Structures are given as C-alpha cells and as structure tokens.
Amino acid sequence: MRIRILMLLFFASTSQILYSQPNVSYNIFSKDGNIVQYSDLLSVATNADVVFFGELHNNVVAHQLEFQLTKDLFAKHGTNLKLGAEMFETDNQLIMNEYLNDIITQERFEDEMRLWQNYKTDYKPLVEFAKENGLSFVCTNVPRRYANSVYKQGVEILNKLTPEAKKFIAPLPFKYDNTLHCYAEMLEMAQGHGGENLPKSQALKDATMAHFIAKNFSKQTHFLHFNGSYHSDNNEGIVWYLTKLKPKQNKVTITTVTQKNITVLDTENSAKADFIIVTQEDLPSSY
C-alpha cells in the first residue's frame, strides 16, 4: 500500500516532473523498441485524429498516464478534444450527457450507468475532467446484453433486434475477419468451445466502438479513446474497423504491457502499437 501511495503522489505531480522522471516503475518504447519520453508520445498524439489508449484495466500507471494525456491534449485542443471509452455502453449516452450537463446528480449518474467495479479509482477522474471542462464523452461500447446474446445464440440473433435497439450497435451486417490475430487467438484459447460465437461477440464490440467513434468525429475533432489493449493492439480490433470507415484518419495507438525487465522491450511486445508502456510485473494494481 505504501508503494502505491508513493506512486500516486508521484503521478499527481506536474507534467513537467512527469517528463523529467520517465523511468519510475515504467518505460515508454516506440514500436521499433527504442525508449522514448512521454513528451515524444504527447507530440505524436497531439497531431493525431484518433488516439487509442490501450490499457490493462487494473494497471495504475496506465490510468495515471491516461489522465495526464487527457489534460495535456485538452491544453492543446480545448473542446475540440473528445473522449470516448469501452467502459461505457452506447445505450447509456443519454445518462452520460445529462450528468455532464448538470441535469442529474452524481449519485443518480453512478447508480444508473452500469459502471465497472474500478470506476471510482480509474475512470471517474476522466469523467469529472470532461464535466469540469465542457468536453464530450462518448459511450462507445455495445450494450453487454447484445454481446452476450451473440455469444450464446450467434450473430444472427441481432437481426431480431428492433430498429430502436439497432441504434446502439454497429450497422448490420458488420464485417468479420476470422484471420485477424485477435479473433483467431481468442478462438484458439476457447479451444473451439462455442464455435466462433466468442470472437464474433468481441468483433461486435470492436465494430460498435469504431462506428461510434466515426459517428462522433468531425473535421476539427481530436478523439482520445480508452480501451483494453486487446481491442487495439496490432492495429486490429477497433482500429481495423475504424480504418474501414475512415481510411484517411491519422490514428495513433498506445498499449500497456508488463515485464520483469522494463529496460528492454521483449520481442513479443514489439510493434504492438506506436507506443508501448512497459510497467513492472509486480506493480501494485488498482483493484
């Protein structure tokens, strides 16, 4: 606990301190395996149309850097910055908007949003920052009931949805490529149990997130999206779907990994993203 408190105090310092001390429990690597500074990542992210921040959901460093990057991109782009996240589902956008616009209380918001268990420690700071600074926050993920239906009954079940329900998912039929590593690996890990329903339910999430990023993008927009690293590693998942929709967008990917040795990028982690945040394996987790 003492180590975690010290880390949080460190990350709560100014961005200048963060830039000057990049090696405290983590390093940032470029996709070709060179150590870079946070300021290098920020420079590239500033010029991107869409930045995908791939996190490990319980990784303290990832969450602190997400917040730091949000603040720094806001300083560059103001309200042209839009936030979006896997952690919030599309059918809850109205609730999100009502909270951001002071129509409902924080208590009602948190009671009704189907929030993840680590919301208060890891995502609430992002939502509150958006609220305080007049930023849009897009709920991009498919309602979990529909992903579960695909897993249980197959993708054909989506055809039974009402027109109202279909507003919350990617347009049907959505493309599915079972040769993509992320889906092939998922199928292999499941040892064929349930056929391709599991990777297809994942693909529905990715396609929906890409659809709502594209839907909420305009000429002046700079979009920062938070998601599990599996959804954007190797330019697959959400990135693959968004590239189909917006091939000319400048997209930057960030991923988070853990290693025993953080001074050299392991071969298995190289080229996963434009920037790879490497943290120590024994790092205290957020939950």
pLDDT at 149: 98
| The residue type at 243 | T
Residue 67 lies in a domain: yes
pLDDT at 286: 83
Residue 202 lies in a domain: yes
pLDDT at 21: 38
Residue 285 lies in a domain: no
Cα 267 off chain centre by:
23
pLDDT tens over the chain, length 287 residues:
333 333 443 444 333 333 333 445 899 999 999 999 999 999 999 999 999 999 999 999 999 999 999 999 999 999 999 999 999 999 999 999 999 999 999 999 999 999 999 999 999 999 999 999 999 999 999 999 999 999 999 999 999 999 999 999 999 999 999 999 999 999 888 776 778 999 999 999 999 999 999 999 999 999 999 999 999 999 999 999 999 999 999 999 999 999 999 999 999 999 999 999 999 998 888 88
Residue 116 lies in a domain: yes
Residue 287 lies in a domain: no
CATH number of the structural domain spanning residue 107: 3.40.50.11550
For 271, the token pair is 């080229």
pTM of the model: 0.91
In angstroms, the CA 177 to CA 183 distance is 8
Q: Which structural domain range is residue 133 located in? A: 2-280
pLDDT at 228: 98
Domain count, the chain: 1
Q: Which residues pair with 81 in a beta bridge?
A: 222
How do strand 26-30 and strand 275-280 relate by DSSP bridges?
antiparallel
Residue 231 lies in a domain: yes
pLDDT at 239: 98
Residue 165 lies in a domain: yes
Residue 209 lies in a domain: yes
